[in-house]
Amino acid sequence: MSKHDRHLLDLSSLTILVADDNDVMRSTFKQLLRTYGARKIFEAHEGAEALQQIEERAIDILITNWDMRPIDGIETVRILRRHPVAEKQMMPVIMVSAHSTPRNVRYARDCGVNEFLTKPVAPIDLYLRLEEIILRPRAFIKCPSYIGPDRHRHDGRRYSGPKRRVQDQGKGQNGETAAEPASKPAKEASA
Amino acid sequence: MNANKPIPPGVTIIEPTDALRRKAPPVMNRRLSEVAKEAEATIQSQQTAYQTRLAQDIENLHRIHLELLQTMNAELLEEVRFIAHDMKGQGTTFGYPLITRICDTLANFLAAKPPLNAKTLDVITVHIDSLHLVVDNALVGEHPDGLALVENLSRLLALVAPEKSGDR
């Protein structure tokens, strides 16, 4: 059985915005999204146009290239994460880039990107990133140093097994501890 | 996120909703494994558009290279890097991994902000010539001649590169 042998999600009701300054890549993404069943697809040539479209429409998911001019994908996400309207601020973003070193992926994540899609693009990977956003949405974190999806994919709340980590020593089964600090610096928060 | 930890002051956590999941329910008569094959075919259908774009990109590199020679305007080096980086991202997607590799070495070389001198211009020239070689001889896939070419480019860059910059 193929590892992808499961029902396709119906993407026809989702509104997806593709921002890429390269016409071939934009067209390819559009065609791929159509193949996967998406019907409401909008395009932008760069970040400023993408942000304008986001103002004008109810976009569900943004797929954006990193390197664009004048506003690149990272700057677009930074601006989006400070949007005054909550639905727009929390819009899931897939960053597409050939800047695929771990350092760059971490940087994109720290700017508030939900998913990273590496170029060269494997068609199935685009769908898998969409599926991840749709089926496994993460909490949204706002703190002075970060605004974006929870950068921890693992949801500790669902774990009910024994606590074996050093930092868990002295805690009960549910993690309660008498010596827990009242507060921690924001950067140590789960964000 | 761990619910057992207290939320630090100044931090707001908004729980995820299932809004997108409700908007995108499973399609009972379509399997991902089947549609994935169609998606591969979709990429193939973009080949002609890619090849046209590839020719335009190489032409643009030529034009900027000539302008560099005439004006010695160092800002144009960023133009070359920007195009090379863009080409790097597309090559392998459309069956030209050699384009990706050649543009990767060029983009990385320029990302390290080399001085605009004869050596740097030579590096750009040899990369543009290499791109031509790949396209003119239709060196698709991991062609052995192309791999030897890429290896030689890497050796050349090891001799002239100011310092390794990493990606970007």
Nearest C-alpha in A relative to B9: A183
* Residues on chain B touching A140 (C-beta within 8 angstroms): 13-14, 16
In-domain check, residue B54:
yes
CB-based contact, A11 to chain B, within 8 Å: yes
- Residues of A (139-158) whose Cβ lies below 8 Å from B: 139-144, 150, 152, 155-157
Q: What is the ipTM of this complex?
A: 0.84
DSSP conformation letters of B104-151: HHHHHHHHT---SSHHHHHHHHHHHHHHHHHHHTT--SS-HHHHHHHH
* Nearest alpha-carbon partner for B68 in B57, B59, B79, B56: B79
Does B98 map to a domain? yes
Residue B160's pLDDT band (cuts 50, 70, 90): confident
For residue B3, being part of any structural domain is answered with: no
Q: Report whether pLDDT(A111) > 70.
A: yes
Domains of chain A by range and CATH? 15-137 (3.40.50.2300)
The answer as to whether B146 is a domain residue is yes
Task: Give the number of other CB atoms < 10 A from CB of residue B78.
Answer: 12
Residue B9 lies in a domain: no
Q: Which domain holds residue B123?
A: 32-160
Q: Which pair of tokens denotes residue A68?
A: 């664009």
Q: What is the CATH number of the domain that holds B98?
A: 1.20.120
Distance from CA of B5 to the nearest CA of A (A): 8
Q: Is residue B76 within 8 Å of B67, Cβ to Cβ? A: yes
- Is residue B40 domain-resident? yes
Q: Which residues of A touch B15 (CB under 8 A)?
A: 139
Contacts of A123 in chain B (CB under 8 A): 36, 39-40, 42-43
What gap in Å lies between CA A93 and CA A95, rounded to an integer? 6
Rounded Cα–Cα distance for residues A25 and A168 (Å):
47
Count up the domains in chain B and report the number. 1
Average pLDDT over residues A21-30: 95
Interchain pair B26, A133: CB under 8 A: no
pLDDT above 70 for B19 = yes
